[in-house]
Amino acid sequence: MDEDSFSEMSSTSWFGRIGGAFKGIVFGLVLMAVAFGLLFWNEGRAVKQYKTLQEGGGMVRSVALDKVDPGNEGRLVHVAGRAVTEATLADQELGVRAQAIGLIRDVEMYQWKESKRSETKKKFGGGEETVTTYSYAKEWEKKIINSGNFKKPEGRSNPTRMAYESKTTLADDVRLGAFRLPDFLVRKIGNETSLALGPDLKPPPNLQGKIHRQANGFYLGADPATPQIGDLRIQYRVILPVDISLVARQAGPSFEPYKTSAGGTIELLETGIHAADTMFQKAQQSNTLMTWGLRGGGFLLMMIGANLILAPLAVFADVVPAIGSLIGAGAKLISALLAGILSLITIGIAWFVYRPLIGIAFAVVAGALLVPIFRKMKKAKPVQPPPVAPPPVPGS
């Protein structure tokens, strides 16, 4: 057996599986309830965001950057230009400095990582046999992995803390013309690039012999060529000055989220120079994508929940594995169909609540299409078989 992996086998009886399947019904009902709530909430969120962006797009005004006009105080404004700063940011612990909008320190630790793979086989009589394989490998990870939770932690111990952790430092004074950008907008800028450390940078004296210089950071350990558990790899990135476009509420010489009468807020920021209408169009597209993504997520939760509710049927039939697999496949298909129907019904109800005019219009159209179909079904007469001629009389 490979020293970095091992397998164990477990069995579950038919009665044990039935008990687990019935417990799964409760979880399935909870998932379906969550799916109903998610789908209903998503439609309301989508309408609210759509109205918010529509309202904002109709009132936004583009303003100049050379001065702050008090006449625009509290208004929704659009500005575009170069975000810059004169601040010098520093990582005091390791002595790294850079003139930038943001200084990002990324830290990774060389650690043991556990992965698990299971293979389940059905047995005649309804039971199951599961073989679970645990594998262990040494990898670079940004977060501490608790080796105490490993199935077999012996000989695979990770440190419980990092000497240095990842962190982001932002400049206090980022300017866009005559305006100052608040932190919540600075965090949206992006434009990150690796920071090449200068040749004159020296590590702290207390780390001499333990830390090694690299192109854009440090290596904390004995030898970068042969990493050991607990070694750290530290790299730096910076957010550099860049052209941006933003839409927000003018608040003195700065900005804050703009609250619309629809109840939503607007604070849009994109890299590059963009017109206000282009930014609102893109925001509407993002809203549409998010709406469909959450619809898909709600449908998936609904399908998983329905499948858990129907699972006992397949378990009962698993006394003969071939029959159980067939019924299980049928249950999955029914779950998908049921999830689709219930999802559409939920979305339809939400439309009547949040989009009554559209909901009523669709109901009217659907009714207009169904009426002639029902009429034809009602008028349709069963097809009569052709009359059968009587047999000829002998001798006639």
Query: What is the average pLDDT across 286-291?
Result: 96
Contact predicate 301/272, CB 8 Å = no
User: Considering only CA atoms, which of 339, 103, 60 is closest in space to residue 237?
Assistant: 103
Query: Residue 203 burial by CB count (10 A; 0-12/13-18/19+): exposed, middle or buried?
Result: middle
Contact predicate 276/60, CB 8 Å = yes
Per-residue pLDDT at 2? 41
Q: Is 42 helix (H, G, I), strand (E, B) or coil?
A: helix
Whole-model pTM?
0.79
R_g (Cα) of the chain, nearest Å? 32
Could you tell me which residue, 168 or 13, shows the higher pLDDT? Answer: 168
Query: Residue 231 burial by CB count (10 A; 0-12/13-18/19+): exposed, middle or buried?
Result: buried
Query: What is the average pLDDT across 167-187?
Result: 95
Quote the strand ranges of the chain, DSSP E.
Answer: 5-12, 61-62, 76-84, 88-91, 96-99, 102-122, 128-141, 167-170, 175-176, 179-180, 192-194, 211-214, 217-220, 232-239, 242-251, 254-256, 258-259, 265-266, 268-271
pLDDT band at 385, cuts 50/70/90? low
pLDDT at 62 over 80: yes
Q: Is 302 helix (H, G, I), strand (E, B) or coil?
A: helix
- Which tokens belong to 305? 């929940």
CA distances, 5 to each of 8, 159, 306 (Å): 10, 21, 36
Per-residue pLDDT tens over the stretch 327-381: 878 888 988 988 888 888 888 888 888 878 776 765 665 556 556 656 665 665 5
pLDDT band at 387, cuts 50/70/90? low
pLDDT band at 108, cuts 50/70/90? very high
What is the pairing mode between strands 128-141 and 102-122? antiparallel
* Degrees, nearest 5: CA angle 375-376-382: 125
Per-residue pLDDT tens over the stretch 139-150: 999 999 999 999
Rounded Cα–Cα distance for residues 351 and 358 (Å): 7
- Residues with Cβ within 8 Å of 26's Cβ and at least 6 positions away in sequence, in order, are none
- Dihedral sign for Cα 15, 16, 21, 23, please: positive
Mean confidence (pLDDT) of the chain:
87
- Residues with Cβ within 8 Å of 315's Cβ and at least 6 positions away in sequence, in order, are 14, 17, 18, 21, 126, 324
Quote the strand ranges of 199-349, DSSP E.
Answer: 211-214, 217-220, 232-239, 242-251, 254-256, 258-259, 265-266, 268-271
Contact predicate 121/324, CB 8 Å = no
Query: What is the average pLDDT across 290-315?
Result: 92
Per-residue pLDDT at 379? 64
pLDDT exceeding 70 applies to what percent of the chain? Answer: 89
Per-residue pLDDT at 120? 78
Per-residue pLDDT at 368? 64
